[in-house]
């Protein structure tokens, strides 16, 4: 019998949730997604020091304040990693807009345009890239404009149906509802024990999937942030699933049967169609303590790692200038 990973690939597009180029080469996913946390881990790995060195050398030739040059180097690093990944995966590579722009619509649009221009300058067309933006109201508005410009977006840090409904209304290409972080919140709040069927993160993605399929919404649902393979198996058949290398290896080693759990032809018990304006979005998000807290926490964590990356780059830049 084929492995569970191979069985999953027969019904779901599998995406690698990693910035480790060698892991992507080994696991052969269709797509790949990165974020500031994964990028920070990658640049601290000796195997990728050449990408950091190249970006630092480039940065030394740029004019502007130290802060602006450091930010530009970080963008170049993200595009360098993304470009390498496009040489390995046949599909899309997600690149994230800076998390400190999560409440800045115009800033997010400008950053996305700059990232796409940098990719195109390297010969990577925009149809190979997804721009990742946090699913705040401001982020969704940015994505709406970017989609009109032909820049496909991946809305991340998504924890609730109202976020998913607003993303659908904006015509975004793809959403990344987080499974494991939802589970984390409920466990911390004293819930459980949970099975794969009662896992609140799994249930959230199933509800969003049913909503999209029942109402003819074309936006892709890509489950993300998994804590175990049981969560992944419970979402087999989802449009896409982004999975870390360790869990992909576990699925590859398991040859048990993997039944399809999500099917667009069998989407039942779908939530009613929502009409989401800004007031409704903010109120319903506020009503959901888990989604409010995890969205805020997620932005803070990504900003923390972004600042750490900028700090590492600034230090290396100073060392290079002093050499």
Active site residues: 132
What are the tokens at 65? 């304040």
For residues 111 and 97, give the distance between their C-alpha atoms in angstroms, rounded to a whole number.
Answer: 6
Count of other CB atoms within 10 angstroms of residue 208? 27
293: Cα separation from own chain's centroid: 18
Question: Which contiguous run of DSSP H or E holds residue 154?
Answer: strand 153-158
For residues 143 and 163, give the distance between their C-alpha atoms in angstroms, rounded to a whole number.
Answer: 13
215: Cα separation from own chain's centroid: 24
The β-bridge partners of 223 are 241
The answer to whether the bond into 193 is cis (omega within 30° of 0) is: yes
Residue count of the chain: 323
For residues 65 and 295, give the distance between their C-alpha atoms in angstroms, rounded to a whole number.
Answer: 31
Q: What is the CA radius of gyration of the chain?
A: 19
Candidates 167, 165, 138; CA nearest to 155 is: 167
What are the tokens at 180? 């494991």
CB 51 within 8 A of CB 80: yes
β-strand pairing of 240-243 with 93-96: unpaired
Backbone angles phi, psi at 161, to 5 degrees: -65, -35
First vs last Cα of the chain: how many Å apart? 58
Handedness of CA 20, 196, 172, 286 (dihedral sign): negative
């Amino acid at each position: 019998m084929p492995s569970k990973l191979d069985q999953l690939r027969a019904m779901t597009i599998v995406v690698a949730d990693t910035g480790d180029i060698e892991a992507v080469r080994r696991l052969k996913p269709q797509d790949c997604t990165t974020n500031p946390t994964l990028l920070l881990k990658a640049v601290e790995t000796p195997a990728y020091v050449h990408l950091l060195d190249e970006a630092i050398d480039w940065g030394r030739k740029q004019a502007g304040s130290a802060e602006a040059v450091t930010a530009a180097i970080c963008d170049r690093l993200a595009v360098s990693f993304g470009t390498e990944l496009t040489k390995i995966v046949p599909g899309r590579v997600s690149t994230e807009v800076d998390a400190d722009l999560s409440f800045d619509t115009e800033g997010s649009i400008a950053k996305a345009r700059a990232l796409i221009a940098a990719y195109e300058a390297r010969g990577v067309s925009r149809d190979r890239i997804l721009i990742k933006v946090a699913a705040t109201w401001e982020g969704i508005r940015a994505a709406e404009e970017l989609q009109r410009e032909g820049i496909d977006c991946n809305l991340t840090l998504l924890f609730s149906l109202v976020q998913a409904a607003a993303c659908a209304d904006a015509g975004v290409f793809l959403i990344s509802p987080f499974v494991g972080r939802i589970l984390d919140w409920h466990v911390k709040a004293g819930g459980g024990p949970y099975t794969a069927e009662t896992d609140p993160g799994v249930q959230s993605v199933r509800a969003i999937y049913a909503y999209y399929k029942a109402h003819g919404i074309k936006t892709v649902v890509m489950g993300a942030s998994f804590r175990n393979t049981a969560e992944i198996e419970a979402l087999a058949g989802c449009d896409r699933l982004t999975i870390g290398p360790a869990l992909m290896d576990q699925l590859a080693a398991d040859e048990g049967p993997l039944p399809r759990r999500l099917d667009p032809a069998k989407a039942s018990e779908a939530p009613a169609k929502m009409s989401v304006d800004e007031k409704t979005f903010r109120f319903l998000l506020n009503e959901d303590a888990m989604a409010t807290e995890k969205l805020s926490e997620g932005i803070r964590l990504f900003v923390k790692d972004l600042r750490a990356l900028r700090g590492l780059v600034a230090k290396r830049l100073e060392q290079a200038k002093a050499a």
